[in-house]
């Protein structure tokens, strides 16, 4: 098997983390995880009650990450030669792509991406990240996060926090719209 980003480099067998077999490129340090190896590692940790909607984008954590210089390069599956499908992972200030083969479902992580997925709590649900459902969920969560940051910048963190709390209370209350109407009347004056 050869590196998707360096077709002249043979991948070396090793371990990405305990009990997870992977094949890495000696030049770019990217890792190829075969689908069967991923499943063996993932299955014992998979949560049977898992739902995409409960998977939030953990954008509140302060994480900075410089994507690998090979991240933007397209590649072919080391096992079966299909073009790898790229999936964008967007966080606060960073965007990177993880890649997966549409044929054998193997996963390619450029250098540092696996560690990033792990920090974000996403490493045990990589196949989910390739679903449209998760992508749209992540977009909404990201937009919500940006709106909160902008609000906190305008109002200051203390008032912003109260506002978010109130918004949540009203959202959950069956007559919450009365509260919203009250606020709007206050500001019409």
Hey, which residues between 123 and 142 contact Zn ion (CB under 5 A)? Answer: none
Least separation in angstroms between CB 161 and Zn ion: 45
**In the complex with Zn ion, which residue's Cβ is closer, 104 or 170?**
104
CB atoms within 10 A of CB 32: 28
Half-sphere exposure of 130 (CA within 13 A, CB side): 16
Instruction: Return left, alpha or beta for 157; rule: phi > 0 is left, psi -120 to 50 is alpha, else beta.
Output: alpha
Q: Does 42 bind Zn ion (CB under 5 A)?
A: no
H-helix segments, 99-156: 113-119, 126-129, 132-155
Burial status of residue 189 (CB atoms within 10 A of its CB: 0-12, 13-18, 19 or more): exposed
| Residue (35 or 90) nearer to Zn ion, CB | 35
From residue 18 to residue 37, the character string flagging contacts with Zn ion as x (rule: CB under 5 A) and all else as - is: -------x-xx---------
Q: Of the ranges 12-20, 98-106, 113-121, 165-173, which one interacts with Zn ion (CB under 5 A)?
A: 98-106
Binds Zn ion (CB under 5 A): choice among 59, 77, 122, 138 = 77
Q: Decide if residue 104 touches Zn ion (CB under 5 A).
A: yes
- Out of 58, 103, 112, 127, point to the residue binding Zn ion (CB under 5 A): 103
3 vs 16, beta carbon nearer Zn ion: 3
CA dihedral sign, ordered 43, 81, 26, 90: negative
């Amino acid at each position: 098997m050869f590196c998707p980003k360096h077709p002249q480099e043979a991948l070396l067998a090793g371990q990405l983390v305990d009990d997870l077999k992977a094949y890495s490129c000696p030049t770019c340090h990217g890792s190829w995880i075969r689908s069967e190896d991923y499943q063996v590692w993932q299955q014992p940790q998979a949560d049977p009650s898992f739902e995409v909607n409960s998977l939030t984008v953990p954008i509140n954590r302060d994480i900075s990450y410089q994507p690998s210089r090979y991240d933007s390069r397209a590649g072919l599956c080391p096992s079966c030669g299909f073009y790898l499908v790229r999936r964008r992972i967007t966080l606060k200030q960073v965007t990177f792509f993880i890649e997966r083969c549409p044929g054998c479902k193997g996963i390619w992580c450029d250098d540092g991406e696996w560690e990033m997925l792990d920090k974000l709590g996403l490493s045990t649900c990589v196949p989910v990240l390739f679903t449209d459902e998760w992508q749209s969920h992540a977009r909404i969560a990201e937009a919500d996060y940006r709106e909160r940051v902008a609000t906190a910048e305008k109002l200051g963190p203390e008032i912003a926090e109260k506002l978010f709390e109130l918004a949540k209370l009203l959202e959950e209350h069956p007559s919450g719209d009365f509260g919203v109407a009250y606020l709007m009347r206050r500001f019409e004056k």
